Amino acid sequence: MNGHINFIKYKSFVIVALCLAFSTAAFAAVEKNHQLVAQNLSQKLQDDLANQNVTVELKKVKEYKVSKSEIGLTGDAVCVLTDDNRQLPIRFDVKVKTADQKVSEVKYDFVEANSDSTANEEILMKELMTRISRDYKTENIVIAIDSVENVEAAGGKKFLGAGEVRVGDLIWNRIKFDVVLDAYTQKASKIVYKIEK
């Protein structure tokens, strides 16, 4: 009986060891892909900008399958100009041949630092105006948003804010709002507002 328990313990130990080995190997492969992306992005930016003092810091990376022999890595990074420590946000897409770990394509675009928040605010404004239009049965609505606080929420982004609104030909009134945009559909899953008169 004692031998049977020792065999089970040994078997469990071997399984845990194999799992750790595979996890470590998978992590090492991901880390190698990230290093490959950073090196090739840095080289491309150095060539394109004619400046050897450029490095890349990866921020968010997503891996996807292009074909049986090629993967793609896409995401957000920061191009750092080390001469003056300027940081320029970029979005990238790099394709890697899996057989020999050679990069086959490097693409990037510089992006505005606040482009995501600007796009979210436009969607927020549209969703808020649609709701007020439906509630007040008019399309004559003007909103001026004074402040917006972006808070991460489960399944989306939550926006708490204040501003002024004019409904119909009425005077301008203060408005406070709480809107949650669904992360996938970019539609409002919750809209609560209060117009102060």
85 and 14 share one domain = yes
For residue 150, with 0-12 CB atoms within 10 Å meaning exposed, 13-18 middle and 19 or more buried, which class applies?
middle
Closest CA to 108 of 135, 83, 138, 88: 88
146 and 103 share one domain = no
User: Is the pLDDT higher at 116 or at 152?
Assistant: 152
Query: Which amino acid appears at position 136 of this protein?
Result: Y
* pLDDT score at 18: 44
Count of the separate structural domains present in the chain: 2
Over the stretch 64-104, which tens digit does the pLDDT of each residue have?
Answer: 888 998 988 888 888 888 877 778 888 889 998 988 888 88
Q: What share of the chain is helix, strand, coil (3-state, %, to 5)?
A: 35, 45, 20
101 and 78 share one domain = yes
18 and 89 share one domain = yes
Domain end position, chosen among 110, 145, 163: 110
Domain that holds residue 171: 115-196
Over the stretch 7-49, which tens digit does the pLDDT of each residue have?
Answer: 555 555 545 444 444 444 444 455 777 888 889 988 888 888 7
